[in-house]
Amino acid sequence: MLLLRRCPRLARLCSINSHRHPVTPALAPCTASFSSDSDRGSEFRWSRRWTHAVAGLLAGTGAVLAYALHQHKAEKADAITGQTVDKLPSSSTSSSSTSSSSSSSSSLPIFSQDEVSRHRTLQDGVWVTFKGGVYDITEFVAMHPGGDKIMLAAGGAVEPFWALYAVHNQDHVLEILSEYKVGELRAEDQKKQQSLNPSDPFSSDPERHPVLRINNLKPFNAEPPPEILSESYITPNVFFFKRNHLPVPRIDPESYKLTVEIQGPNRERGGALSLSLDDLKNKFPKHTVTATIQCAGNRRSDMHKAKQVKGLNWGIGAIGNGTWSGAKLRDVLLAAGYSPDDANWARHVQFEGLDQDVAGTTYGASIPLRKAISEDGDCLLAYEMNGEELPLDHGFPIRVIVPGTVGARNVKWLGKIIVSDVESSSHWQQNDYKGFSPSTDWDTVDYKTAPAIQELPIQSAITVPADGAIVDRSDEEVTLKGYAWSGGGREVVRVDVSIDGGKTWKIAQLKSSDKEQTAGATAPPPGQAWAWKLWELTVPLPADTEEMEVVCKAVDSSYNMQPDSILPIWNLRGVLSNAWHRVKVKIQEEQDDQ
């Protein structure tokens, strides 16, 4: 514990420990034993998958030092054989909070969830719960092989995280945890489940991962922490931002029907086509498309900071990259009787969701017919997301995937498709999700003057480090990470990154997968680059300043650039916030041991 206390540097690293660092000679032996097969070292022999996921983090100084600390700890643990499960809370625990709970049948104190929730920082102590136990893992944070990701669970349960990272389901992980047990969770909090209020239209909403940052609870709108976005090229389903306009409908996949209607002048039709989920899965070829979906409101908080806007205060996480599988919208339209002649009158394809408000109004949107029917448009009626059944929050059983197009048109819980001469009449098509001039305010806005947002403009953001992060001068360099994407299938061809607020620029390395890029990697055909690129850049820490302003800006294959600043693109709804992204990072000299 003292050892940790003497390393304030470690604490700081928790907010930014994913930068690269050359291993200094003094630490090299630790690195060597880390990869050894000794019994003690084996506690950190993670699965290949895990290793891959946290490779960037493990390369950091933090992990190296953390491992040294753990060795120290493990040596002590060896000396106290058997004392692994019901260890009493140590008096040296950094969290000095006194339990107000009465004693129970266990010899350990009882804590309420509220008390646990108060322990979310290294200063207050980092507590987590697991199967009714309360654990003070403050000391372990710096040793966690997954780096500061562990902080995401601070003050709550670890189960949702462990469920995602199967590497934790090993005895030695439980053993390590047991060392930190400080109490039991109050019985009523253990039993506490999301209370289902039958009169609440949101009562059937699914559970969500607690790591999500909630912008609005009902309807549910939440985004992952930025650093998760750049951790994997494909965004895991649970971390993928959720943007619901209405309660999540519970749809019985057995009785689900999708209606496809082709309106048209003087057209005799035998009624609309009705397709079951089974039809969609079996009567049409299955196509898979990797596509990024971004909410029009992504980065609204940046715009809001510049000047107030109306809308959910999204950070930079209202974007994700998924692999979607389903029937081609084109194939379904053709099956419904669409013919090239329909292009003479039809202009739009409308989608109606099965999610509805109390008045029965359903979510709706439309896209240009050309996008829907084009061979190259790659629009899907998706029933799978990242190889799994489409999750409830993402539109189970069917959602439309309109690659390159704003999230709002990728209608979830799809109930009806209409080929029409007009756009969807929904509020979300006609009024919302449109861009206006900075001079337009709520008194002067005329919704008809602006087109509905379809393709989105070039975008990029910095995911690591976070704004306000601290890096150590002695690290000498820092690795910056982020994402970049453009709508309309325009490929991101370059990301420029500045560490001096935009005065000078360096070119970031682009990644189109989690694998090492090969020189001969096939670029997507022009106009079909639906997926984002992750970017990374390691830069030496500038010698002459204590603060770096990191800025990124991306360029797409049409050489569209992001605008420099926010105010000139400000709009009353705070959509299309794609000015250069900026974060400020402090560079501090390593503090002396106390």
Catalytic positions: 144, 168, 243, 295, 433
State which of positions 272-311 bind its own copies (CB under 8 A): none
Tell me the C-alpha distance between 169 and 175, whole Å: 11
Q: Which residue has the tokens 């007009």?
A: 422
Tell me the C-alpha distance between 43 and 36, whole Å: 11
- Could you say whether residue 561 binds its own copies (CB under 8 A)? yes
- Could you say whether residue 345 binds its own copies (CB under 8 A)? no
State which of positions 59-118 bind its own copies (CB under 8 A): none
Type of residue found at 563: P
Q: Which residues contact 291 (CB under 8 A, 6 or more apart)?
A: 321, 322, 324, 378, 401, 403, 404, 530, 531
Residue closer to its own copies, measured from CB, 479 or 578: 578
- Could you say whether residue 506 binds its own copies (CB under 8 A)? yes
Q: Which of 65, 79, 82, 48 is nearest to 3 (CA)?
A: 65
Q: Smallest gap, in angstroms, from Cβ of residue 506 to its own copies?
A: 6
Per-residue contact string for residues 397-436; x = within reach of its own copies by CB under 8 A? --------------------------------------x-
Name the β-bridge partners of 555: 494, 561
Q: Smallest gap, in angstroms, from Cβ of residue 344 to its own copies?
A: 12
- Could you say whether residue 564 binds its own copies (CB under 8 A)? yes
- The total of other beta-carbon atoms located within 10 Å of residue 407's CB is 24
Residue closer to its own copies, measured from CB, 181 or 553: 553
- Could you say whether residue 525 binds its own copies (CB under 8 A)? yes
Name the β-bridge partners of 185: 111
Q: Smallest gap, in angstroms, from Cβ of residue 451 to its own copies?
A: 5
Residue closer to its own copies, measured from CB, 157 or 539: 539
- Could you say whether residue 559 binds its own copies (CB under 8 A)? yes
Beta 470-472 vs 581-588: how paired, if at all?
parallel
Residue closer to its own copies, measured from CB, 49 or 506: 506
Q: Is 186:101 a contact under the CB 8 Å cutoff?
A: yes
Q: Smallest gap, in angstroms, from Cβ of residue 518 to its own copies?
A: 15
State which of positions 432-471 bind its own copies (CB under 8 A): 435, 437-440, 450-451, 453-458
Residue 306 CA, chain-centre distance (Å), reads 24
Handedness of CA 374, 375, 377, 380 (dihedral sign): positive
Residue closer to its own copies, measured from CB, 455 or 476: 455
For its own copies, the binding residue among 172, 507, 509, 517 (CB under 8 A) is 507
Contact region with its own copies (CB under 8 A), list: 249-257, 328-336, 350-358, 563-571: 563-571
Residue closer to its own copies, measured from CB, 444 or 474: 444
Q: Smallest gap, in angstroms, from Cβ of residue 556 to its own copies?
A: 8
Dihedrals φ, ψ of 202, to 5°?
-95, 5
Contact region with its own copies (CB under 8 A), list: 49-57, 110-118, 379-387, 554-562: 554-562
Q: Which residues contact 527 (CB under 8 A, 6 or more apart)?
A: 376, 488, 489, 490
For its own copies, the binding residue among 41, 391, 563, 586 (CB under 8 A) is 563
For its own copies, the binding residue among 19, 242, 243, 494 (CB under 8 A) is 494
| Radius of gyration for the alpha carbons in the chain, expressed in angstroms and rounded | 26
Tell me the C-alpha distance between 169 and 161, whole Å: 11
Q: How would you classify residue 431: left for phi > 0, otherwise alpha for psi between -120 and 50, otherwise beta?
A: alpha
Q: Is 429:364 a contact under the CB 8 Å cutoff?
A: yes
Rounded (5°) CA angle 411-316-580: 115
Handedness of CA 482, 315, 499, 571 (dihedral sign): positive
Residue closer to its own copies, measured from CB, 62 or 403: 403
Tell me the C-alpha distance between 258 and 283, whole Å: 13
- Could you say whether residue 558 binds its own copies (CB under 8 A)? yes
Q: Smallest gap, in angstroms, from Cβ of residue 575 to its own copies?
A: 8
Contact region with its own copies (CB under 8 A), list: 51-59, 137-145, 200-208, 520-528: 520-528
How far from 224 is each of 210, 211, 214, 236, 315, CA to CA, in Å? Answer: 9, 7, 9, 10, 9
Name the β-bridge partners of 551: 498, 582
Q: Is 530:403 a contact under the CB 8 Å cutoff?
A: yes
Residue closer to its own copies, measured from CB, 425 or 565: 565
- The residue count for binding its own copies (CB under 8 A) is 46
Q: Is 129:158 a contact under the CB 8 Å cutoff?
A: yes
- Could you say whether residue 504 binds its own copies (CB under 8 A)? yes
Q: Smallest gap, in angstroms, from Cβ of residue 285 to its own copies?
A: 17
Contact region with its own copies (CB under 8 A), list: 86-94, 231-239, 413-421, 487-495: 487-495
Residue closer to its own copies, measured from CB, 115 or 491: 491
Residue 48 CA, chain-centre distance (Å), reads 23
Interface with its own copies by CB under 8 A: which residues?
A: 347, 368, 370-371, 376, 435, 437-440, 450-451, 453-458, 487-488, 493-494, 496, 502, 504-507, 525-527, 553, 555, 557-565, 568-569, 576, 578
